[in-house]
Chains A and B, each alone.
Chain A
Amino acid sequence: MATKKTLKKAPAAAASAWDKVKIARDAKRPHVWDFIEGIFDDFEELHGDRLVNDDAAMVAGFGTIGGEKVLLLGHHKGATVEENMAANFGMANPDGYRKAMRLGKLAERFGNPIVTFVDTPGAYPGREAEERGQAEAIAKSLEFFSALKTPIVVVVTGEGGSGGALAIAVGDRILMMENAVYSVISPEGCAGILWRDGAKAPEAAEALKITAPDLLSLGAIDEIIPEPAGGAHKNHKRACANVKKAVLKALKELKGIALDELVEKRYAKIRSYGNFY
């Protein structure tokens, strides 16, 4: 039987990949609007892809952070059941990615750096999503942000779910919060295919190497943003302060680089992703 003493002894560093998945998905974890309110001096949300829709799963707008005028793009999961439903739990439709690109083009024109907040289970798997070209919208985003002539700072704040996350996670600095996860496929999805049993998700999570330290060692991210003790959900204020500090530092570093050189460096970074013989 576990006594209080033995429980206390359990080392905090022993959090498994699956523990992190649970923290990353915690409903109380700061979401995009918490970060906007906690980090930005001011913010104006803008809507719509100018084609068919405004996707509530993708928040976009201009704002000021530490005096820097930036474009913010971020997945929106929603804090209430109504918001969850409206935003499909942060699963964007093609319209969301097209809104991101439309405003990204504006940021390029007016010299605004882009800051993205990544937190999604994945792109929305729906009939209209497919009919309106979910695959094409994600593909275009990857091509688009790879070559966009303005600095891009990415923060993976919660769940980095596959292609739906990646579409707004191409940039010059990829930051990731300590307890965030980022994966090619959800642990449940991977377990369903390779273990033929979705319940084996904890094993799949371990095998896929989806935690921030794993991703740093694989070269997929550049920096880990520390979280307050117990996780960002325990102390939003502290979490926001840490994110703000890391974002401003990255923006400052990127500011001095000529745009042509910036895009060359970004390509070199993207080009280096991989491990092969």
Chain B
Amino acid sequence: MSWFEPKAEKPKIPPAKALWAICPKCKSHMAKEVWKNNNSICPKCNYHGRLPVRERIRQIADESTFVELFREVSYSDHLGFHDATGDYKSKVDATIAKTGETESIVVGTCEIGGHRAMLGVMDFSFMGGSLGSGTGERIARACEQAIAERRALVLFCASGGARMHEGILSLMQMTKTSAAIGRLKAAGLPYISVCTDPTTGGVSASFAMLGDINITEPKALIGFAGRRVIENTIHQKLPADFQTSEYLEKHGFIDKIVERKDLKPFIAKMLNYWGF
């Protein structure tokens, strides 16, 4: 169910190229400074690029309100999984060393425009944002604490899907997170899902699509099955904008496409409408 093989190590970029960024959507070249100064948004096509998890939290949570939770919950290599490229344990340990994070989602309490919230932000740079047991456990605990403290739940999704290195138990995290979110809703609390680029596979088929409202940034990739898998199945070319934010909005699965700069005020506004 995972679309991406997480890479423990990135190939070394030659020094000249290190100064340049290429928009993955429109392939425009620009100085890295331009990309960065524009909040990782392409100035040409408005593709909203991936944002580091801590930067996302900084942009969404009110200043100094974020208190991280469940950082001690981390992966376990319970299958002793290894494949052609190495073993799971070495890959995650390298990811932990590189990113400084201990799972593919960071969760914690905060205020968003003065509204009490439980915030979770997935980290695509951590094993492709894949859904492992630790990820699912953090989300389930976040839901339960949000119920206890009467907080709204806001999750920023970014994932290639379930973490196949953890076998069947990664699949079961789809049920665990969905059940926990069901309880949060039954307790009368709102859940806003923000599907950022990319939100695919088992994450799209669980908590990402269960928001009371599902919102997204422009031009994100959101879908269940991979484009190539679909094209090979139906023997047809798919439209260029297939599985984009815009496509999903048109088909009724996204409430609104929100620009990065407007995300925080939009979330605060919705929570205000609902009396939170």
B208 and A277: CB pair below 8 A?
no
Complex Cα spacing A138 to B172, Å: 13
> Which has the most chain B C-beta neighbours within 10 Å: A127, A143, A193, A196?
A143
B37 sits at the interface (CB 8 A): no
User: Is the Cβ of A195 less than 8 Å from the Cβ of B205?
Assistant: no
Chain B 139-157 residues near chain A, CB threshold 8 A: 140
Q: Which of A126, A162, A193 has the most CB of B within 10 A?
A: A162
Inter-chain contact A274/B133, CB cutoff 8 Å: yes
* Distance A47 CA – B60 CA, assembled complex (angstroms): 46
Task: Jot down 15 A-B pairs with beta carbons below 8 A, ordered by A.
Answer: A129-B224, A130-B224, A130-B243, A133-B251, A136-B209, A139-B178, A143-B178, A162-B1, A166-B172, A184-B1, A196-B84, A215-B168, A218-B78, A273-B136, A275-B133
With contacts A194-B84, A276-B134 known, is A147 near B182, CB below 8 A?
A: yes
CB of A183 within 8 Å of the partner chain:
yes
Shortest A53–chain B CB gap in Å is: 15
Which one, B67-75, B109-117, B266-274, is touching chain A?
B67-75
Neighbouring B residues of A182 by C-beta, 8 Å:
168
Chain B contacts for A86, CB-based, 8 A: none
- CB-CB < 8 A to B234: which residues of A? 126-127
Partner of A163, one of B82, B176, B180, B202: B202
Within the complex, which residue of A125, A127, A214 is in contact with B242, where a contact is CB–CB below 8 Å? Answer: A127
Contact A276 B210, CB 8 Å, known A127-B230, A135-B224, A193-B5: no
Known: A135-B205, A193-B5, A195-B84. A276 touches B74 (CB 8 A): yes
Given A134-B224, A166-B175, 11 more contacts at CB 8 Å?
A133-B252, A134-B205, A135-B224, A142-B178, A162-B1, A183-B167, A184-B164, A190-B164, A207-B81, A276-B74, A277-B75
List the A side residues contacting B206 at CB < 8 Å. 138-139, 142, 163
Does the CB pair B251–A132 fall under 8 Å?
yes
B162 touches A185 (CB 8 A): yes
Q: Which residues of B contact A196 (CB under 8 A)?
A: 84
Contacts of B242 in A (CB 8 A): 127, 130
The verdict on A140 contacting chain B, using a C-beta distance below 8 Å, is yes
Q: Is the CB–CB distance between A210 and B168 below 8 Å? A: yes
What is the minimal beta-carbon distance from B25 to any residue of chain A, in angstroms?
A: 19
Nearest B residue to A275 via CB reads B78
Establish whether residues B178 and A271, one from each chain, have CB atoms under 8 Å apart when the complex forms.
no
Chain A residues near B226 (CB-CB < 8 A): 125
Q: Find residues 101-130 in chain A having any chain B CB closer than 8 Å to their own CB.
A: 123-127, 129-130
The reply to whether the CB of B137 lies closer than 8 angstroms to some CB of chain A is yes
- CB-CB contacts below 8 Å: B162-177 with A: 162, 164, 166-176
| B positions within 8 Å CB-CB of A | 1-2, 4-5, 72-76, 78-79, 81-85, 132-134, 136-137, 140, 162, 164, 166-176, 178-183, 186, 201-202, 204-210, 222-226, 229-230, 233-234, 236, 238, 242-243, 251-253
Distance to closest chain A CB from B164 (angstroms): 5
Bound CA span A208–B186, Å: 35
How many A residues face the partner with a CB closer than 8 A? 54
If A126-B233, A277-B72 touch, whether A195 touches B210 (CB-CB below 8 Å) is no
Chain A residues, Cβ within 8 Å of B251: 131-133
Known contacts A270-B179, A274-B172, A277-B74, A130 near B210 by CB under 8 Å: no
- In this complex, which of B75, B84, B208 has the most chain A Cβ atoms within 10 angstroms of its Cβ? B84
Q: How far is the CA of A131 from the CA of B202 in the complex (A)?
A: 17
Q: Are A143 and B73 in contact (CB under 8 A)?
A: no
Q: Does A220 contact B (CB under 8 A)?
A: yes
Q: A116: shortest Cβ distance to chain B, in Å?
A: 14
Known: A126-B233, A277-B134. A139 touches B176 (CB 8 A): no
Q: Annotate A162-193 by CB proximity to B: 1 below 8 A, 0 otherwise.
A: 11001000100000000000111100001001
| In the complex, the 7 A-B pairs of residues with the closest C-beta atoms, listed nearest first | A125-B225, A274-B133, A146-B179, A273-B172, A142-B178, A135-B204, A194-B83
A139 x B210 contact (CB < 8 A): yes
